[in-house]
Amino acid sequence: EKIENSSIVVSNMDVYFTYHKMLPNQKAPKKILRQERSSSAIIFYWGIKSEFPNLDLHNIFFSKDYKTEFKTIFDKKNIFDDPTVYVHISSKCLPNDAPKGAENWFVMINAPSNSGQNWDELIAKARTAIIQKINKILQIDIEQFIEEESILDPRSIEMKTASYQGSLYGTSSNSKFAAFLRHPNFKKGLKNLYFVGGSVHPGGGIPLCLMSAKIADQYIPTVSKS
């Protein structure tokens, strides 16, 4: 059904794309849309043909210089040589998520949002750094256990989720007032259009995204829900 024929529209696209794709003739809030974007991520989905009892459901291998890691991401728009690595293995609590004797690894590092970097080069750099860190900490050669691999980077995050520049949390939260500078969940003059997701009030991350949906739901006329 066309949007113009809908009585209620709820957009969970990044607010940037909501204006540029859904509202091309509507005056856009330029100041909000120009705000600095949050960080993104490079994610490797690995099918590991072994089990590692010394790892848990959630595992974090920290950078030795956390501050410089984020300065590299935000100031240089690059990948740090010693990234913090997060490894989630859901088969630790849901055995059917991986074949018997194997594990499913979700391996993520922080990355800058997409501003035209050479991502193929950065992905290769990230993969090398991640493998070196895991090998050093676990005293193994993890690459010999990687049977399957899929990759998600800021470009594909933007394509799959409509998050502008692949940012994970919409705009950056650089001050205690950041939440109040986000786009509201509804706007005067845009009747029956509601904004939800990580790029609008109250913020990014699953709990706050769900809260944005709850806020919008409270203001959607009851008659429209029946």
101 Cβ contact partners less than 8 Å away, ≥ 6 residues apart: 49, 50, 51
Q: Which residues of the chain have pLDDT under 50?
A: 1
How do residues 125-153 score in pLDDT, each as one tens digit?
999 999 999 999 999 999 999 999 999 99
**pTM for the predicted model, two decimal places:** 0.88
**What are the strands of the beta sheet with 103-111, ordered from one edge?**
58-61, 85-88, 103-111, 40-48, 146-152
Return d(Cα 35, Cα 200) in angstroms, integer.
Answer: 12
- For residue 225, the model assigns a pLDDT of 54
Q: Report pLDDT for 3.
A: 56
The predicted pLDDT at position 1 comes to 41
Cis-peptide, bond into residue 53, ω within 30° of zero:
no
pLDDT of residue 94: 98
The Cα diameter of the chain in Å comes to: 62
- How many C-beta atoms surround the C-beta of residue 83 within 10 A? 23
- 158 Cα distance to chain centroid: 9
Q: Name the architecture of domain 40-161.
A: 2-Layer Sandwich (3.30)
What are the residue ranges spanned by the domains of the chain? Answer: 3-36+169-225, 40-161
